[in-house]
Structure 1
Amino acid sequence: MTDFPQFVCAGEALTDMLRTDSDDWKSLVGGSTWNVARNLAKLGLRTGFAGAISEDVFGDALYAANEQAGLDMRLLQRFKRSPLLAIVAETAPPKYFFIGEDSADLYFSPAALPDGWNRDLQWIHFGGISLAREPLATTLISLARQCKKDGVKISYDPNFRNLMDDRYDATLRTMTQLADVIKISYDDLRGLFRQENADLALTQLREFNPEAVYLYTCGAAGASLHLGDQTWQALPPQINVIDTIGAGDASIAGLLYSLHKTPEKTWQEHLDFSVASGAAACLAAGAQAPELAQVSALYEQIKKN
């Protein structure tokens, strides 16, 4: 009998449409939760992406990428609905919007997953715009609550986008209260709490769930880990940054990998591995799922600093 995944990422897989010139566009597979799944699989963990994609050319590309990433194909659903597209007109500063009012991702159904899909499940990850789009958001919150009851650990990365206005506030609180690990960035905090003081926003977020572990990423300034009244900090290694796309997804994947594979390590070491994972994703253009060897080398570099 084939084993089911130990790690599952539930949410959106989408197509990024990047404007490369005034009239030229490039399509890339993506999606926050899907990228985390791809990173976990690349690090060697049994992982599945639980979500839905379309049956057109965009869906075909996502299906092929899902398979190429080594993700469990039994958890991927397909529907004859339109694709979910992120239209990125500018990247610096980012200007984007989403197309997918009745797209396939919204039709994801946990009830349609194969029997026993969660038999080996240890962690499930949520986040991205999937939690800001109904009816998918309600579906995923219900799934998170059931997984919590079943003793599955939950990680959550809001990954702020312009869809997340005050209507998202209740979801932010609910998912933070359910999660064991929350990944949040400087920009996320300012966007989600609609204020410039990110440190104050982090304090407010932590009040939702004082028992959780919080991974707070600040780009080139490094990251910190917060648990109770303790804080650990780490600076990224010296690398030649190509771009930072997907670094946040890689960092939470790195933290989950470290917690799972080497639970005996200190929180400082877990944080160092997370930062190394994020840095490794910056070594090539576009969202990257770095090799374990790359991450391990950068991790050793951080430990020496």
Structure 2
Amino acid sequence: MSDLLPAVAFAGEALIDLIRREDGAYAPCLGGSVYNQARALARQGLRSHYLNPLSADAFGRALADQLAADGVQAADPQPRLAPSALAVVDPGTGGGPPRYAFYREGVADRDTRAEALIAACARLPGLALVACGGLALDPRDAGLYLPWLDAQRAAGRQVALDVNMRPQVMPDLPAYRAQALAALARADLAKVSDEDLQHLGLPGDTPLAQAARLFEQAPALRLLALTLGPEGACLLDRGGLIARWREPRALQVADTVGAGDCFFAGLIAQALRLGLIGPAGLRLPQAEEGLALLRHAVAAASLCVQQRGCVPPSWAATCAWRDGA
């Protein structure tokens, strides 16, 4: 791990993905969008902290063991008696997005408070960026994550948000949209997919037009990564498009589980290594730097989709794939 670069703390879900196999059976895999991102950033050689608690059950122990193996520091190491959350995953076909059903009532990763997250961050040396998203945008958890984000901004830290919406499992879609936009209003850096923009109900004939409208609703937002599935990704600031990149090689896609998480972590890792994020805040990239960000993030996602489940690549493997394109 690089102790010279700023640290990143992640808050959000950790769960077990039960992924349907071709034979119809379900294989358990460690998952949860934010949990995946914390692991993926550590595998990119950065200091990564995971803030939420884990269960004392067998799944929770496996989640904790994997964090330790990847070099992620658990900020709340006390196991909870509550069970681990579950997600039943249909990986989809033809490289399409997976479909999820979540079981998250009374689970360990939600057994925390905003005050605990704030206190944990205050103890972390060199913390310059906090990240969340995914199921942390559940409006039922608004009292947990929004006060934590406000406290991090007040402490001078940057906020990164991966929207990663799951509207099919949220009972109140308008409240879910409002919560996602409230979190985006606190973000300096964000990632959205073209599907996320549709779920947010933003006007515009194209994803780029919708992304431009998102800046209007997120006053703190300065840098936005827009993923477009097999069409690659774009990087934008308030002035418009900075860079665009897509994977130039044909891939043997096993499934797309965790691809967006690896993209997000790869984006943050490259931004930290380029010095775009630090104690002085977020520096907007020039066109060449923006392209470097996207090339690395897309490479991380490309390596992920060629394996079953979320298997984040190392920094060295990502650079080798990226530079071989």
Question: Normalized against structure 2, the TM-score is what?
Answer: 0.83
Match of 1:240, SS state, is: coil
Is the CA contact (8 Å cut-off) linking 2:52 and 2:75 kept in structure 1? Answer: no
User: What code does the residue aligned with 1:209 have?
Assistant: A
In the TM superposition, residue 76 of structure 1 has moved relative to its aligned partner by 4.2
Pair 1:132 & 2:133 matched: no
Alpha-carbon distance in structure 2 between the residues aligned to 1:78 and 1:141: 24
Shift of residue 282 of structure 1?
2.3
Show structure 1 runs of 5+ residues with no match: none
The residue that corresponds to 1:99 in the other structure is 103
- Structure 2 residue 206 is matched with structure 1 residue 190: no
- The aligned residue for residue 314 of structure 2 is 291
State the Cα deviation string for residues 258-287 of structure 1 (Å, max 9, x = none). 111112762222222222222222232221
Q: Helix, strand or coil for the counterpart of 1:79?
A: coil
Residue from 118, 124, 128 that aligns with 1:118:
124
SS of the residue 1:52 aligns to: coil
In structure 2, the residue matched to 1:205 is: 214
8 Å contact kept, 2:188–2:222? yes
State the AA in 1 paired with 2:126.
D
Deviation of 1:118 (Å): 3.2
Give the alignment's Cα RMSD to 1 decimal: 2.6
Q: Residues 217-228 of structure 1: matches in 2 within 5 Å?
A: 217-228=227-238
Query: What secondary structure sits across from 2:213 in the alignment?
Result: helix
1:10: Cα distance to partner?
Answer: 0.6
- 1:167 to 1:85, Cα distance in 2 relative to 1, 3 A: same
CA gap of 1:114–1:266, structure 2 versus 1, over 3 A, is: closer
Q: 1:41 deviation in Å?
A: 0.1
* 1:197 CA displacement: 5.0
- Mark the CA change 1:115 to 1:288 in structure 2 (over 3 Å): closer, same or farther: closer
Matching of residue 237 in structure 1 with residue 252 in structure 2 = no
Structure 1 pair 20/285, CA: closer, same or farther in 2 (3 Å)?
closer
Structure 2 CA distance for partners of 1:34 and 1:193, relative to 1, 3 Å: same
Shift of 1:79: 1.5
Identity, % of aligned positions: 28
My pick for the range that moved more, 91-100 or 77-86, is 91-100
1: CA distance between counterparts of 2:129 and 2:77? 17
Map of 1:154 onto structure 2:
159
After superposition, where does 1:166-185 map in structure 2 within 5 Å?
Answer: 166-185=174-193
1:109 and 1:132 map into 2 onto residues whose CA distance is 15
How far the C-alpha of 1:78 sits from its partner, in A, is 2.6
Q: Deviations over 1:242-269 (max 9, x none)?
A: 3322111111111111111112762222
Instruction: Give the drift of 1:189.
Output: 1.6
User: Which among 133, 142, 148 is matched to residue 143 of structure 1?
Assistant: 148
Q: Does 1:255 align with 2:253?
A: no
CA distance in 1, matches of 2:215, 2:297: 20
3-state SS, counterpart of residue 122 of structure 1: strand
Cα offset, 1:114, TM superposition: 4.9
Spell out, residue by residue over 1:1-20, the C-alpha distance to the aligned partner (whole angstroms, 9 max, x if none). Answer: xx8x8111111100111233
**Inter-CA distance 208–87: structure 2 relative to 1 (3 Å threshold):** same
Distance 1:292 1:23, change over 3 A: closer
Change beyond 3 A, Cα 1:180–1:196 = closer
- Measured against aligned partners, the alpha-carbon deviations of 1:27-67 in whole angstroms (never above 9, x if no partner) come to 11100011111110001101111112221122111111111
Q: What is the CA–CA distance in structure 2 between the aligned matches of 1:83 and 1:115, rounded to whole Å?
A: 23
**Structure 2 unaligned regions, length at least 5:** 277-287
Count of aligned residue pairs for this structure pair:
299
Deviates more, 1:237-246 or 1:80-89: 237-246
The higher-RCO structure (CA 8 Å, 6+ apart) is 2
Query: Structure 1 residue runs of 4+, over 6 Å off?
Result: none
Cα distance in structure 1, aligned partners of 2:70 and 2:12: 17
Number of the residue aligned with 1:108: 112
